[in-house]
């Protein structure tokens, strides 16, 4: 089919129709940035052709060179046959207006915390300029640490990951944003190697997929590092470890913000006396909690 397409398709409009048909036929999963087969096809075509990602219409009837057609078809074929997420095919992922380099050493960035950082965590952080130290636990590609640096200009930021390979990707992104003077990358198993460092703000988008859910993940997720997804039997193994130690690394007025996926009920059952504040996101108020230092479980 792809060989035949190479001789019969001519324009971007042709390619777009072909890609959407193939994506739907293959029953691809779209959970890494795109919402539909159409959105993902548009993104992959425009990115591969080095065209503006927000300008499809002017180019729809543009005819492609043979080399361009082959290049786009190769990307479409890999997406269909290998089920590789688009972000790994393009080595690019977006959080809001921020673009990050990604490859299969890191989980593809997707976090409701990124939304909250756009407004400097208002109203929970009343004076953003008073945040002088912040920590991003399980930093992966370094995306949230970079957003922290932009949201809180007076803060020095530590970004931690257990994976040396992930930190190599984070280093590239930190350098791309010229933030080496503000962000320190540290290899550590959560707080283990932090000694007595304390922070005004600790954020984390840790692994939170339970054992049962891991067994039925769509094929696209299997390209991501398993240790960035799996978190014990109920998905809360890492979150429990964070809650056990966070108070020792927060300043007196410090706060902890953690994303936990669909585990709200499990978490509240496990910590019935902990007064979690659930933050409102575009998907509702069930995915990110906030605790001040004096609210953390003892």
Please give the backbone phi and psi of residue 95, each rounded to the nearest 5 degrees, phi first. Answer: -125, 105
The model's pLDDT over 29-71, given as tens digits with 9 standing for 90+, comes to 998 888 999 999 999 999 999 999 999 999 999 999 999 999 9
Residue with tokens 């496990």: 270
- pLDDT of res. 133: 97
- HSE at residue 12, side-chain half, CA atoms within 13 A, is 20
pLDDT per residue over 159-184, tens digit each? 999 999 999 999 999 999 999 999 99
Which residues of the chain carry a pLDDT beneath 70? 1-7
**Tokens 């503006």 belong to residue:** 52
pLDDT of residue 1: 66
For residue 33, the model assigns a pLDDT of 85
Q: List the strands of the sheet with 156-161, edge to edge.
A: 183-187, 156-161, 133-137, 199-204, 250-259, 288-292, 277-278
Any idea which residue has 């706060």 for tokens?
255
**178: phi then psi, degrees, rounded to nearest 5:** 55, 45
The pLDDT, as a whole number, for residue 82 is 96
Q: Token pair for residue 89? A: 């095919």
Q: What structural domains and CATH numbers belong to the chain?
A: 2-90 (1.10.8.10), 98-295 (3.40.50.150)
For the record, the structure tokens of 228 come out as: 């960035």
DSSP-assigned letter for residue 189 = S
Is 185:167 a contact under the CB 8 Å cutoff? yes
What is the distance between the alpha carbons of residues 280 and 290, in angstroms, rounded to a whole number? 11
Q: Are the C-beta atoms of residues 258 and 292 closer than 8 Å to each other?
A: no
Between CA 273 and CA 285 the distance in angstroms is 19
Peptide bond into 243 cis (omega under 30): no
Rg (CA), the chain: 21
* CA–CA separation, 238 and 219 (whole Å): 24
- Going 154 to 255 to 191 to 206, the CA torsion angle's sign is negative
Structure tokens at 279: 């933050």
């Amino acid at each position: 089919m792809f060989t035949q397409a190479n001789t019969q398709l001519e324009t971007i409009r042709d390619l777009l129709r072909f890609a959407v048909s193939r994506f739907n036929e293959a029953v691809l999963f779209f959970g890494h940035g795109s919402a539909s087969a159409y959105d993902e096809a548009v993104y992959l075509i425009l990115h591969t052709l080095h065209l503006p990602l927000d300008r499809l219409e002017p180019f729809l009837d543009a005819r492609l060179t043979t080399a361009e057609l082959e290049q786009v078809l190769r990307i479409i074929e890999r997406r269909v046959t290998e089920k590789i997420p688009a972000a790994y095919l393009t080595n690019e992922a977006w959080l809001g207006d921020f673009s990050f380099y990604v490859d299969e050493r890191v989980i593809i960035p997707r976090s409701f915390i990124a939304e909250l950082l756009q407004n400097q965590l208002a109203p929970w952080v009343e004076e953003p300029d008073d945040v002088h130290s912040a920590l991003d636990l399980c930093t992966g590609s370094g995306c949230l640490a970079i957003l922290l640096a932009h949201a809180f200009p007076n803060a020095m930021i530590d970004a931690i990951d257990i994976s040396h390979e992930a930190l190599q990707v984070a280093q590239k992104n930190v350098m791309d944003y010229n933030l080496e003077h503000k962000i320190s990358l540290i290899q550590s198993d959560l707080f283990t190697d932090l000694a007595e460092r304390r922070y005004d703000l600790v954020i984390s988008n840790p692994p939170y997929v339970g054992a049962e859910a891991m067994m039925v993940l769509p094929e696209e997720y299997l390209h991501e590092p398993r240790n960035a997804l799996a978190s014990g039997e109920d998905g809360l193994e890492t979150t429990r470890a964070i809650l056990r130690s966070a108070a020792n690394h927060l300043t007196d007025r410090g706060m902890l913000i953690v994303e936990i996926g669909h585990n709200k009920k499990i978490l509240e059952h496990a910590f019935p006396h902990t007064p979690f504040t659930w933050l409102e996101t575009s998907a509702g108020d069930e995915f990110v909690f906030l605790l001040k230092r004096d609210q953390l479980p003892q």
